[in-house]
Structure 1
């Protein structure tokens, strides 16, 4: 996924990009990811520019006025700071007063550029949170790092414990599962895994993520699969005995979208 994102962003060197494009052309799932990235880029380009709400701008102006008045009161008993001569500020030996209107005009010019950057950042954040709802929070604590993808049959520790009639994940759990490649012992066999996926209507490709779980206390296997839409994923949970002709479906739900 990281390589596909780098390819779409055009940051790979020439030979690597050429080799990856050949692999993408032969991989339906990779082409779907690239199409989703194209759609996201188009959606972001269509977003309107952001602007500061009038009430916020009014409070900023009032705060600036208060700050200027505070500076004036605090500076009155002290020796004025001498200003260097400038074309618009002759060397009179007196402290020069900052023109508030001019300062505000300069601030507005800087705000125009800053607003554009904020718009890009906000749009990017909107995409991230659309795909990973529930991440972050209201506090300032650091979020745990995204785990690295494990080898098939490898372990990230205890199975992810879930409850309910259908599998639901928060953003952190989804990140853990999609970055995992962990299978219960029976499904670590490629042929049984393929038969299990086909029994559940998955006709091609490999799961985007896989993780051992317990569902209502029972061992199970969770797959993350393409969900057929931008930022939409299929969460398929099956029993360890899932195989060709025996779907053993425990839960079939969606995430994002």
Structure 2
């Protein structure tokens, strides 16, 4: 929900909806509703716990390094923008009236496009948008972390992941990682939290549920999913609640994972 689409109306509860509490924390409620809700949630221990969890996660996210556009991606975007502007200019020229009917440039008030300035503005928008998306994903993770969970966490953070390869053909290539366990940097983690990319076998919801249950996950669903390779071996990476605020379980399974077959390749943690 954006600031231009503020939620209105008197709060209904308790129990309060998680969406409503998230909107209160994000500051997107109208002032009257927000003031009413702040007074009422003070008497609700569960609501105060969720708001405290959101505060802690926001602080953790603020400590992460800023996201930037990789140089190769930025170059492709710049080239695409220039091609679009060039095509638009050609269309306008083809549709323009005869030269004798066109006013002199001084009278048209035309605008010159500064690609350097446009590129800088786009970089700023990308950084802001990525940050907001990361907050939204982390807020969803907080909701799972404050609910009961019987999952275990284990693993190591010794291996260093390789850079993500460039996708071809319109689909993202598997994220190539190396090491005894899956480890992610902040940028990779944020990208996976916004992804729902499943292998062909785990696209089936029933098989995905069976795979999760075989690995001890009996509630909730993955917060993010991404196809990867670990030391060259194909795997499915699932980001799950980690049992604590700001802590996440990184479960990597093989393509054969399903009911009664955990096919576990790696089980590590991020954050916490």
Higher relative contact order (CA 8 A, sep 6+): 2
